[in-house]
Structure 1
Amino acid sequence: MGRGWEPMLEQVARERYPRLVARAMLLVPSRADAEDLVQEALVATFAARARFGSVGQAEQYVRRAIVSRFVDRVRRGDRERSAVERTAARRQPSAGLDEHGLATDVEAALLALSPRVRACIVLRHLDDLSVRETASVLGLSDGAVKRYVSDGVAALNAALGTTSTDSDPVVLVPAQEVERGA
């Protein structure tokens, strides 16, 4: 008896694996750890035999599973100390872009953040999840996500010598439009 989820798993692994590893490397300091994280996320995603309508949907689910697995590792506490040691031992960033398309100084600044703050920044600003979605993925309150993101952006600005500007005007949106967009 064939398993309907296997072709989707094979397609995701074949077509999206490099992007998934690149995303995971934003959370962990080494490629080997990133590959382990992606493998754990793929197993968790497809072990549940979830059905996806497209490779894109499956990839999004795996991306969220990567962050969930990362947070689980941190919660267990067995890797945090070694992650800090690896980050400190990592060579100084050089100018230019790395294999993920991020400036290496940005990657280094991300790795200097605490794991939870880093996870919030990646989900909010790179995966473009809402505060509510980020809170759900990480098992946090909306307020905690807002605080971690705020602290993380401030730390990134300080590390990179940048500033956040609020040059765009605030636009009030009727409540029914917010509910439809959420």
Structure 2
Amino acid sequence: MTRLVAERGDSLRRYAYLLCGNTDDAADLVQDALVKTFGRLRNGFTVASAEAYVRKAVLNTYLDGGRRRTLWRRIAHLTAGPEEQESAAPATDARIDLLGQLRGLAPRERACIVLRYYEDLKVDDIAAQLEISPGAVKRYLSDALGKLAVSLAEPADDDMLKDAGGTHAH
């Protein structure tokens, strides 16, 4: 385990970060995955094969947490205020902040996007990783890409509306 963390720890944390979008949560995901993996595995594994087990554990831990967060989001508004304040930065920053856009995806959509475009897996490989059908993977990818396309689309230019004599509400 020590060798895996020394050689591949940064890569594992980046992978977890793309899934969850938070440095502290990513470190926790990797730590939990290492405990789960090496609590069961014995010596004799190569760094590459152990990394595959840990990546799978990171993904499963993220998805399990996503289910809990989805349930919490349904009721959180009853007890808590917003965790983040709206940014005063211009809309351009929102288009550039892809990680921010990934946060808006459902856990399985985000997992499919990360596995497809960060891990460079094919649809069948993603389906095997997530233990779902290839059709479901295609649907998650399609839905996620659609959401990302809408959120990254360029907003109407307010100056053009003013020049054209149009009005708009804030």
TM-score (norm 1): 0.66
Instruction: Report percent identity of matched pairs.
Output: 39
Q: Which structure features the higher share of helix residues? A: 2
Q: Are residue 116 (structure 1) and residue 145 (structure 2) matched?
A: no
Q: Quick check: 16-25 or 147-156, which moved more?
A: 16-25
Match of 2:84 among 89, 93, 97: 89
Show structure 2 runs of 5+ residues with no match.
155-170
1:53-78: CA deviation from partner (whole Å, max 9, x where unpaired): 3x233323322221111112223x2x
Match of 1:41 in 2: 33
Distance apart, 1:19 and its partner CA: 2.0
1:146-181: CA deviation from partner (whole Å, max 9, x where unpaired): 10011111211222238xxxxxxxxxxxxxxxxxxx
Q: What residue identity is the alignment partner of 1:151?
A: D
Q: Are residue 128 (structure 1) and residue 123 (structure 2) matched?
A: no
Distance 1:15 1:38 in 2: 14
Match of 2:149 among 130, 136, 157: 157
**Paired residues, number:** 143
Asked whether the 8 Å contact 1:93–1:105 carries over to 2, the reply is: no
Asked whether the 8 Å contact 1:93–1:108 carries over to 2, the reply is: no
Q: Are residue 18 (structure 1) and residue 15 (structure 2) matched?
A: no
Distance 2:111 2:20 in 1: 10
Computing the radius of gyration over CA atoms, which structure comes out larger, 1 or 2?
2
Match of 1:27 among 19, 32, 57: 19
Match of 1:148 in 2: 140
Distance 2:117 2:88 in 1: 22
Asked whether the 8 Å contact 2:13–2:26 carries over to 1, the reply is: yes
Q: Are residue 106 (structure 1) and residue 87 (structure 2) matched?
A: no
After superposition, the CA RMSD in angstroms is 3.0
Distance apart, 1:32 and its partner CA: 1.5
Distance 1:87 1:159 in 2: 20
Q: What residue identity is the alignment partner of 1:140?
A: I
Match of 1:59 in 2: 51
1:59-111: CA deviation from partner (whole Å, max 9, x where unpaired): 23322221111112223x2x3336x989961775989xxxxxxx961111111
Distance 1:145 1:28 in 2: 19
